[in-house]
Amino acid sequence: MKSKGFTLPEVLATMLMLGIILPPAMYAMTTAMRTSSRARHTAEAAQLAQYKLTELAITQDTTQFTGSGTFGDAWPEYRWESSFTTGDFDVYVLTVRVLWSEQNIERSVSLSTIVAPSISQTSSTGGGS
């Protein structure tokens, strides 16, 4: 009568194959999840930076161009910083940087745009016609 089970060599061979295959497979899975998380954070940060950059550029108020803050309860893991420099032809280069921590490493996305001073600002500083 023949028994319906696995022999010891078959079980050992299976365990050896699992021991060889599982570690690289788990490493690949972990790497894929980490890469996916980084891509998601980068995309979200870029959208938030675009939102804040547009918000600041529309005001054309240079006193608001430099600052920092958070995005509130909706995006608690992100914060922003903004700054500006004066470029050629009396325009401003406005930069917004969105920061977040991922795996105890601070990461960021920066976006910049050129903002022309409003006509009232230009005339009040003596640069208008």
Residue 2 belongs to a domain: no
pLDDT exceeds 80 at position 9:
yes
pTM: 0.72
Q: How many domains does one find in the chain?
A: 1
Residue 68 belongs to a domain: yes
129 in helix, strand or coil? Answer: coil
Structural domain of 116: 8-124
Residue 105 belongs to a domain: yes
- Return the exposure string of 17-51: e unless at least 16 CB atoms fall within 10 Å of the residue's CB, then b: eeeeeeeeeeeeeeeeeeeeeeeebbebbeebbeb
Residue 129 belongs to a domain: no
Q: Any idea what the Cα angle at residue 5 is, between residues 9 and 19, rounded to 5°? A: 40
* Percent of the chain residues past pLDDT 70, beyond the cut: 89
Residue 31 belongs to a domain: yes
Q: CA-CA distances (angstroms) from residue 30 to 9, 17, 128?
A: 32, 20, 59
Residue 120 belongs to a domain: yes
pLDDT exceeds 90 at position 59:
no
pLDDT exceeds 70 at position 122:
no
Dist CA 45 CA 29 (whole Å): 24
Residue 1 belongs to a domain: no
pLDDT band at 6 (very low <50, low <70, confident <90, very high): confident
pLDDT attached to residue 24:
94
Tens-digit pLDDT profile for residues 89-114: 888 999 999 999 988 899 999 999 99
56 in helix, strand or coil? Answer: helix
